[in-house]
């Protein structure tokens, strides 16, 4: 197989058996190629040409770590997996790309590896089957000061509200399965990460966070600092969603969801330095740039139209009208019918009525 600048051996994709567990065949999922393309673009933007120390901690075939070595400025890449079969394959794949002597391959649990190599890494990648909860706390504790932990969560249905009890147990949060579910899920994941980091007197700063396909992903810069950790916890809020909108009023009636991370999902500096890599194209980068900087959550044209019993307006017209009234708006990658805006909801309602009357 080929991906980015490497060739590698992997189990045949699409054998219909779904994700494999440790001890069975080594895992490879072509649909996560974009996740790895974004990882390469992110690391080039974050490292800015510096030689940072990287751990691909749950590597499977090693495709991510090998690509990081080949396609970024870093020459210090450690590739690890708990499965012996995976490590045998990683060795073969490193040989195939003539970089066996350049990368360090290990057969540890990521937990043990992080404890034994504390503060060694400027970037730790956590890419588990399902939830990152068992691994994140150690990564947050032992990544270098101002280093980054890249976290994938594929338990999207839990974070986005299909299994609220599991979400409560796993993330200590009440999810909300509504028009905003993917942003909600991502903000629950980041809130959880902020709470775990704070336990170790560490702060988080999301540099790039998104939803794609069947997973949520966030790149969190993490550092030491009690005051900054306290400030992060102040950014966690419970919210009540109702009638196409949301409010933060604790006194209001109805179910409060969250806690959600209400800080930024992106760093503008990182976004502006992202380069097109594979499936990460200009359109996606521009959309992230457009939607960054808005307050959390978004409105949904279908949701509002159905509440108001009017036809959904075209997104183009809606954006123009919002602009005419002196407000800003952006589409969002979370939903094709979603709109982020600083216009109050009442203003939006009046625009909907005007357009559709």
Ligand X SMILES: C[S@@+](CC[C@H](N)C(=O)[O-])C[C@H]1O[C@@H](n2cnc3c(N)ncnc32)[C@H](O)[C@@H]1O
Question: Least Å distance between CB 258 and ligand X?
Answer: 28
Instruction: Please tell me whether residue 43 binds ligand X under the rule CB under 6 A.
Output: no
Q: In this chain, which stretch among 26-34, 87-95, 98-106, 232-240 interacts with ligand X, using CB under 6 A?
A: 26-34
Instruction: Please tell me whether residue 126 binds ligand X under the rule CB under 6 A.
Output: no
Instruction: Please tell me whether residue 22 binds ligand X under the rule CB under 6 A.
Output: yes
Beta strands at 2-3 and 6-7: parallel, antiparallel or unpaired: antiparallel
Instruction: Please tell me whether residue 58 binds ligand X under the rule CB under 6 A.
Output: yes
Q: In this chain, which stretch among 61-69, 273-281, 306-314, 339-347 interacts with ligand X, using CB under 6 A?
A: 61-69
Instruction: Please tell me whether residue 128 binds ligand X under the rule CB under 6 A.
Output: yes
Instruction: Please tell me whether residue 129 binds ligand X under the rule CB under 6 A.
Output: yes
Question: Least Å distance between CB 339 and ligand X?
Answer: 33
Site for ligand X (CB under 6 A): which residue of 109, 162, 177, 305?
109
Instruction: Please tell me whether residue 89 binds ligand X under the rule CB under 6 A.
Output: no
Question: Least Å distance between CB 261 and ligand X?
Answer: 24
Instruction: Please tell me whether residue 127 binds ligand X under the rule CB under 6 A.
Output: yes
For residue 174, how many C-alpha atoms fall within 13 Å in the half-sphere facing its CB?
A: 10
Number of residues that bind ligand X (CB under 6 A): 21
Chain CA centroid to CA 314, Å: 29
List binders of ligand X among 146-185 (CB under 6 A): none
Site for ligand X (CB under 6 A): which residue of 110, 189, 190, 197?
110
3-state secondary structure of 194: helix
Instruction: Please tell me whether residue 304 binds ligand X under the rule CB under 6 A.
Output: no
3-state secondary structure of 179: coil
Between 30 and 73, whose beta carbon lies closer to ligand X? 30
Closest of 355, 245, 263, 242 to residue 299, by C-alpha:
245
Between 4 and 128, whose beta carbon lies closer to ligand X? 128
For residue 26, how many C-alpha atoms fall within 13 Å in the half-sphere facing its CB?
A: 24
Beta bridge partners of 247: 240
Helix axes 164-171, 181-199, angle to 10 degrees: 20
Site for ligand X (CB under 6 A): which residue of 3, 4, 8, 27?
27
Instruction: Please tell me whether residue 63 binds ligand X under the rule CB under 6 A.
Output: yes
Per-position x/- string for 253-292, each x denoting binding to ligand X as judged by CB under 6 A, each - no binding: ----------------------------------------
Judged on CB neighbours under 10 Å (0-12, 13-18, 19+), 274 is buried
Site for ligand X (CB under 6 A): which residue of 3, 71, 78, 81?
81
Beta bridge partners of 212: 215
Q: In this chain, which stretch among 58-66, 89-97, 202-210, 307-315 interacts with ligand X, using CB under 6 A?
A: 58-66
3-state secondary structure of 166: helix
CA 44, 207, 35, 194 dihedral sign is positive
In angstroms, the Cα distances linking 138 to 159, 229, 288 are 21, 16, 29
> Sheet of 245-247: strands edge to edge?
245-247, 236-242, 257-261
Between 27 and 294, whose beta carbon lies closer to ligand X? 27
Which helix or strand (DSSP H or E) is residue 34 part of?
helix 33-47
What is the DSSP secondary-structure string of 43-69? HHHHHTT---EEEE-S-TTSHHHHHHH
Site for ligand X (CB under 6 A): which residue of 74, 83, 156, 209?
83
Site for ligand X (CB under 6 A): which residue of 47, 79, 82, 194?
82
How far apart are the C-alpha atoms of 131 and 201, rounded to whole Å?
Answer: 23
Q: In this chain, which stretch among 107-115, 185-193, 198-206, 292-300 interacts with ligand X, using CB under 6 A?
A: 107-115
User: What residues line the site for ligand X (CB under 6 A)?
Assistant: 22, 27-28, 32, 36, 58-61, 63-64, 81-83, 86, 109-111, 127-129
């Amino acid at each position: 197989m080929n991906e980015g600048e490497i060739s590698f051996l992997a189990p045949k994709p699409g054998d219909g058996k779904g994700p494999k567990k440790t001890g069975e065949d080594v895992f490879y999922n072509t649909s996560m190629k974009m996740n790895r393309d974004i990882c390469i673009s992110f690391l080039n933007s974050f490292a800015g040409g510096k030689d940072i120390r990287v751990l691909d901690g749950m590597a499977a075939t090693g495709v991510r770590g090998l690509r990081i070595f080949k396609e970024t400025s870093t020459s210090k890449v450690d590739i690890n997996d708990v499965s012996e079969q995976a490590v045998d394959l990683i060795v073969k794949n490193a040989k195939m790309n003539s970089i066996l002597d350049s990368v360090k391959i290990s057969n540890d649990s990521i937990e043990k590896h992080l404890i034994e190599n504390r503060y060694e890494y400027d970037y730790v990648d956590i890419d588990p089957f399902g939830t990152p909860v068992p691994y994140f706390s150690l990564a947050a504790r032992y990544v270098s000061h101002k280093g980054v932990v890249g976290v994938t969560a594929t338990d999207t249905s839990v974070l986005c509200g299909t299994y609220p009890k599991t979400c409560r147990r796993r993330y200590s949060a009440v999810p909300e399965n509504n028009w905003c579910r993917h942003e909600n899920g991502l903000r629950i994941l980041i809130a959880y990460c902020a709470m775990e980091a704070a336990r170790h007197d560490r702060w988080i700063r999301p540099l790039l966070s998104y939803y794609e396909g069947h997973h949520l992903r966030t790149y969190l810069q993490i550092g030491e600092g009690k005051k900054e950790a306290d400030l992060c916890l102040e950014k966690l809020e419970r919210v009540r969603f109702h009638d196409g909108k949301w409010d933060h009023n604790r006194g209001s009636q109805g179910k409060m969801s969250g806690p959600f991370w209400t800080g930024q999902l992106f760093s503008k500096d990182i976004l502006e330095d992202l380069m097109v890599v594979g499936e990460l194209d200009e359109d996606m980068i521009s959309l992230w740039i457009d939607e960054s900087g808005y307050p959390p959550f978004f409105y949904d044209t279908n949701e509002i139209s159905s509440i108001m019993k009017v036809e959904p307006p075209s997104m183009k017209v809606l954006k123009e009208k919002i602009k005419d009234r002196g407000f800003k708006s952006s589409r969002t990658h979370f939903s094709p019918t979603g709109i982020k805006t600083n216009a109050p909801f009442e203003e939006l309602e009046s625009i909907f009525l005007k357009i559709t009357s």
